[in-house]
Amino acid sequence: MSANVPAIPSEAGSLVPTHWYNIAADFPEPLPPHLHPGTGEPVTVEDLIGLFPRALAEQELSVERYIEIPQEIRDVYAIWRTTPLVRATRLEKALGTSARIFLKYEGVSPVGSHKPNSAVAQAYYNRNEGVTKLTTETGAGQWGSSLAFAGALFGIDVEVWQVRASYESKPYRRYLMELYGGRVHSSPSELTEAGRAILAADPETTGSLGMAVSEAVEVAMRDDATRYALGSVLNHVALHQSVIGQEALAQLQAAGFDGADVVFGCAGGGSNLAGLSFPFLREVLAHGAKTRIVAAEPVACPSLTQGEYRYDFGDFSGMTPLLKMYTLGKDFVPDPIHAGGLRYHGMAPTLSHAVNLGLVDAVAIEQDAAFHAGILLARTEGIVPAPESTHALAAAYRYLAESDRDETIVIGVSGHGQLDLPAYGGFLDSYPR
Amino acid sequence: MSANVPAIPSEAGSLVPTHWYNIAADFPEPLPPHLHPGTGEPVTVEDLIGLFPRALAEQELSVERYIEIPQEIRDVYAIWRTTPLVRATRLEKALGTSARIFLKYEGVSPVGSHKPNSAVAQAYYNRNEGVTKLTTETGAGQWGSSLAFAGALFGIDVEVWQVRASYESKPYRRYLMELYGGRVHSSPSELTEAGRAILAADPETTGSLGMAVSEAVEVAMRDDATRYALGSVLNHVALHQSVIGQEALAQLQAAGFDGADVVFGCAGGGSNLAGLSFPFLREVLAHGAKTRIVAAEPVACPSLTQGEYRYDFGDFSGMTPLLKMYTLGKDFVPDPIHAGGLRYHGMAPTLSHAVNLGLVDAVAIEQDAAFHAGILLARTEGIVPAPESTHALAAAYRYLAESDRDETIVIGVSGHGQLDLPAYGGFLDSYPR
């Protein structure tokens, strides 16, 4: 495949790309448009302004293949990028496989996940257009802390609604948001109409990402200097995350490997897997590469494997544009599993389209299988993966256990799990000390 | 200075060194020997065997300039090395300095600090000599989790005595040790004679690294397949940590900078600063470079700035060889500051010798100044530094505030502080949200 891989835009001596890759340019059938909830017509850039700054609204609807990454964003990426592509030989041995396993590890970012790749871009464009405050939702807190971090760098106040299940079980990520200067509320909250209505109907709700989105959107609509930022799902978020897969391809080439046979990633809203896999799909679509992509989602929130592919709202209260996606329905409230970042009722329209076209397969993973996969990674390669990332590991182990395969495997490890260590405790009893 | 920097041994295309650098080869006066506590004579390799495997005992007394890093260790280093050397332009701006600040950031390792650089080496050599169990002490848990990680990779059981003050205030690092398969005890414990004697004298003691060393050494002496591993202080630990400074020098050169004017690092037992600074001191000693080194220690445990330079034991109970070092006395129990890794009564003999020769300066930093330095780093560069590392930052900020200097500054950020987030909380009140 190496002859087919186009030169990935990057500066001399660096594997960090200079451009984001936009898969909308390469889909064999056009990406279904987002629809205006009032008119049912495809949304325009003008429709999205008010919620997002113009630059991001334009990226959301763009079909340009490459969009240049502004220098100021690349300067921030340089704090932690490139992220490691680790050949996991000790894990291979433990699994007894002939496959070559590579881990693309985003846990080395300042907040410990892939989320800053988009948070930094979103804060930058908002700052450029005079926005002084951003609101957002977060599950486990990976996105909220990423936006708080980015806000600190670009001088923007950040206010976060964190899903109650995670707010209560993962206090360290709240401390992290506050350290960066962010304000954090448990969602649903009494601060918004949406939150008050949800609490009135079910005071004991564990919350959901969809509910938290409603609250953050409501507050962003209140004034002109405040905008909303979304950590996943939307096209411009998948765009920003494409740095992951572009780097991974370049790193594989540098290590003498012609791409990968299978790429595994966890999928909640979809930004991690989209970012990792779409550059590989570019090789499939544009150059006939044979790479397969596998989305690993939790059994507790199986939008790809159990949901319907249809238009639905991105949030609980129906304030967002209608998105064509695999969805469990905007009212779906998943069990409070540890992988808070995977508790989303829908799935990125780009990734949903790729699944619908047969370009991406999906599997659902039980929580205990996921944690056991994470423990094996920790004890073979040292990396403690985020609960979300363990789903991708479990899916890969299962695939490799089916038969011995002489293949090259890339597993996206979207974040570290050091702030999730108490969750691991419950799964250690079956292991010898 | 670039013409003077010798080619740092490394593989083609990599800045990770292939050899450790041993400053004992270059000191203008020989390093004072460790003394046998019974005879008062310099210890021999044979004296050290029993406590350490032969390979490490030989490294402890070696005066060879370069010692090759075995391939199996380099393969593990490859999980996270090279670590980033970050140009901190946003921090420079916030400080209003003309200086160029570089952060050498060890927080990207699987456990989040520089400690695995030596843990992996120690586990490797012990495994090679048939050792099946390692005992050790730990403060905040950075070293204990590193050794547990290394033990998991090399099939060695790891048992850790963690200083009570940290055991009780930092449960996440205990979970991390257990995730890697380690066993963890609060120190002083009822499991050793040393621990029982300390508890009998002061049941409410907060513990100290010196006490925890005594317990771990006592258990290691009980049987032949068990050895002790120390996370700092000793010469072989400083040797292993030299990968940090060698990388930093190579990265500075790659960025077009001829070394550094000043290098700042925190110093508890000394391994972090030794590892970062000794390759820079090689340039001073062998090639006349002008780099100054500054050790930042806590006011609560000021061995370099308030201690005596004399022979003392490395542990509380007097079980180790006598080490020539700056010491507050083996009975000294520091206040339970958050920077648990800096709560050690002595200082690495190599670093102490360098201080005594005038090659390294020392400053003592108050805890609140340290945390405020950490908050500024988080809000400018995103990195949340370990409480230990914040001391180096505070020392550098103070130096840069004295006058505007057109200099190149390297600050060692020895680890991330994501498991120390509750400690940051108490210092956030004076910051706007």
Residue B93 near chain A (CB below 8 Å): no
Q: How many CB atoms lie within 10 A of CB B203?
A: 8
Amino acid at site A359: L
| Among B186, B205, B228, residue at a domain's last position | B228
Residues of A in contact with B106 (CB under 8 A): none
Q: What is the CATH number of the domain that holds B194?
A: 3.40.50.1100
Same domain? B99 vs B246:
yes
Same domain? B215 vs B321:
no
Count Cβ–Cβ pairs < 8 Å, chain A vs chain B: 132
Domain assignment of residue B163, given as a range: 116-228
Looking at CA atoms only, how far is residue B331 from chain A in angstroms? 33
Residue B78 near chain A (CB below 8 Å): yes
Residue A428 near chain B (CB below 8 Å): yes
Report pLDDT for A6.
Answer: 40
Residue A286 near chain B (CB below 8 Å): no
Q: In three state form, how does the secondary structure of A227-294 look?
A: EECCCCCCHHHHHHHHHHHHHHHHHHHHCCCCCCCEEEEECCCCHHHHHHHHHHHHHHHHHCCCCEEE
Report pLDDT for A338.
Answer: 87
| pLDDT at residue A12 is higher than 70 | no
pTM for this predicted structure: 0.94
Same domain? B433 vs B298:
yes
Question: Which residues on neighbouring strands pair with residue A59, listed in sequence order?
Answer: none
Long-range contacts of A303-310 (CB under 8 A, 24+ apart): A303/A327, A303/A328, A303/A344, A303/A345, A303/A346, A303/A347, A304/A267, A304/A347, A304/A352, A304/A355, A304/A362, A304/A364, A305/A362, A305/A363, A305/A364, A306/A364, A307/A345, A307/A346, A307/A347, A309/A352, A309/A355, A309/A356
Same domain? B80 vs B137:
no
| Among B172, B200, B228, residue at a domain's last position | B228
Same domain? B82 vs B142:
no
Looking at CA atoms only, how far is residue A201 from chain B in angstroms? 32
Same domain? B32 vs B133:
no
Looking at CA atoms only, how far is residue B348 from chain A in angstroms? 27
Task: Provide the residue-wise pLDDT of chain B in tens; the chain has 433 residues.
Answer: 333 334 455 666 678 899 999 999 999 999 999 999 999 999 999 999 978 999 999 999 999 999 999 999 999 999 999 999 999 999 999 999 999 999 999 999 999 999 999 999 999 999 999 999 999 999 889 999 999 999 999 999 999 999 998 899 888 999 999 999 999 999 999 999 999 999 999 999 999 888 999 999 999 999 889 999 999 999 999 999 999 999 999 999 999 999 999 999 999 999 999 999 999 999 999 999 999 999 999 999 999 999 999 999 998 888 899 999 999 999 998 888 888 889 899 999 999 999 999 999 999 999 999 999 999 999 999 999 999 999 999 999 999 999 999 999 999 999 999 999 999 988 987 765 4
| Among B197, B228, B259, residue at a domain's last position | B228
Stretch A24-42: mean pLDDT: 96
Dihedral in degrees, nearest 10, Cα atoms A118, A30, A412, A284: -130
pLDDT-derived band at A170, boundaries 50, 70, 90: confident
Q: Do A419 and B419 touch (CB under 8 A)?
A: yes
Quote the number of domains for chain A. 1
Q: Has residue A129 been placed in a domain?
A: no
CA nearest neighbour of A359 among A214, A226, A262 = A262
Q: Has residue A189 been placed in a domain?
A: no
For B233, the token pair is 């202080």
Stretch A257-277: mean pLDDT: 97
Q: Under a CB-based contact definition with an 8 Å cutoff, are residues B104 and B411 in contact?
A: yes
Residue A381 near chain B (CB below 8 Å): yes
Same domain? B12 vs B159:
no
Q: Residue A428, by phi and psi: left (phi above 0), alpha (psi -120 to 50) or beta? A: alpha
CA nearest neighbour of A126 among A201, A221, A211, A229 = A229
Same domain? B362 vs B247:
yes
* Nearest CB neighbour to B418, from listed A89, A149, A176: A176
Q: How far apart are CA B380 and CA B374, in angstroms?
A: 10
- ∠ CA A162-A103-A337 to the nearest 5 degrees? 30
Q: How far apart are CA A190 and CA A58, in angstroms?
A: 34
Residues 6+ apart with CB under 8 A from B369: B394, B398
Residue A310 near chain B (CB below 8 Å): no
Alpha-carbon distance values, B31 to B293, B319, B348 (Å) = 18, 22, 11
Residue B419 near chain A (CB below 8 Å): yes
Q: Which residues of B169-198 are buried (b: 16+ CB within 10 A; e: fewer)?
A: bbebbbbbbbbbbbebbbbbbeebebbeeb
Q: Has residue A134 been placed in a domain?
A: no
| pLDDT at residue A27 is higher than 60 | yes
For A69, the token pair is 């990454």
Residues of A in contact with B149 (CB under 8 A): 378, 382
Distance of alpha carbon A162 from the chain centroid: 16
Same domain? B50 vs B179:
no
Q: Do A378 and B116 touch (CB under 8 A)?
A: no
Element (H, E) at B219: helix B209-220
Residue with tokens 């100054």: B292
For B87, the token pair is 């140009």
Same domain? B302 vs B319:
yes
Per DSSP bridges, beta strands B226-228 and B133-138 are: parallel
Report pLDDT for A336.
Answer: 83
User: Residue B133: how many CA atoms within 13 Å on its side-chain side?
Assistant: 16
Report pLDDT for A4.
Answer: 35
Report pLDDT for A317.
Answer: 85
Same domain? B87 vs B176:
no
Q: How far apart are CA B156 and CA B124, in angstroms?
A: 9
Angle between helices B271-287 and B349-356 (to 10 degrees): 50
Same domain? B103 vs B187:
no
Nearest residue on chain B to A428, alpha-carbon basis: B179
Looking at CA atoms only, how far is residue B303 from chain A in angstroms? 31
Residue A112 near chain B (CB below 8 Å): yes
Report pLDDT for A340.
Answer: 83
Dihedral in degrees, nearest 10, Cα atoms A292, A298, A301, A302: 30
Residue A177 near chain B (CB below 8 Å): no
pLDDT-derived band at A11, boundaries 50, 70, 90: low
Residue A379 near chain B (CB below 8 Å): yes
Residue A19 near chain B (CB below 8 Å): no
The distance in angstroms from the start CA to the end CA of chain A is 45
Residue B366 near chain A (CB below 8 Å): no
Residues of B in contact with A379 (CB under 8 A): 152-153, 179-181
Report pLDDT for A324.
Answer: 98
Residue B134 near chain A (CB below 8 Å): no
Angle between helices B235-254 and B349-356 (to 10 degrees): 70
Element (H, E) at B160: strand B157-163
| pLDDT at residue A50 is higher than 90 | no
Q: Has residue A166 been placed in a domain?
A: no
* B positions 216-275 inside 8 Å of A (CB): none
Residues of B in contact with A433 (CB under 8 A): 157, 178, 181-183
Residue with tokens 């509320």: A185
**Disruptive mutation site among A372, A418, A428, A431 for chain B (greatest number of B CBs within 10 Å):** A418
